[in-house]
């Protein structure tokens, strides 16, 4: 069952534009939380970025019933900017708002499992 459900979810993620996806236990985000806190301590300028992510990483308090998480990846490096813009732009991460529609599609498939 798990393989079939994962295959359906992965296919939906790729059809929605994600590079890949996997399923993890919520406890795995503890590793991210520790790494983000170390990063903020070592590079204080990054605190604004990581502080926002830490709130999203607290899955167990927000969704205590969650037994697993679907994690989707997106390859940001595939975008190429015109040469005349190099040095005049900054790449940024897509906000979770822009990902809402693709994620809803993946959530629908995961309910089929």
Distance of alpha carbon 7 from alpha carbon 110, whole angstroms: 10
pLDDT for res 4? 84
Alpha carbon 36 to its chain centroid, in Å, reads 14
Residue bearing the bigger pLDDT, 76 or 56: 56
Residue found by looking up tokens 């975008």 in the block: 79
pLDDT for res 49? 87
Residue bearing the bigger pLDDT, 84 or 23: 23
Distance of alpha carbon 89 from alpha carbon 111, whole angstroms: 40
Q: How far apart are the first and last CA of the chain?
A: 8
pLDDT for res 79? 59
């Amino acid at each position: 069952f798990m393989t079939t459900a994962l295959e359906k979810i992965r296919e939906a993620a790729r059809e929605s534009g994600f590079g890949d996806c996997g399923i993890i236990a919520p406890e795995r985000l503890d590793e991210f939380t520790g790494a983000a806190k170390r990063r903020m301590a070592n590079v204080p300028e990054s605190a604004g970025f990581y502080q926002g992510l830490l709130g999203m990483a607290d899955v167990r308090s927000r969704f205590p019933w969650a037994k697993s998480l679907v994690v989707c990846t997106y390859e940001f490096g595939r975008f190429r900017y015109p040469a005349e813009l190099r040095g005049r732009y900054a790449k940024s991460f897509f906000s979770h708002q822009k990902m809402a529609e693709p994620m809803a599609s993946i959530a629908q498939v995961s309910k089929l499992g």
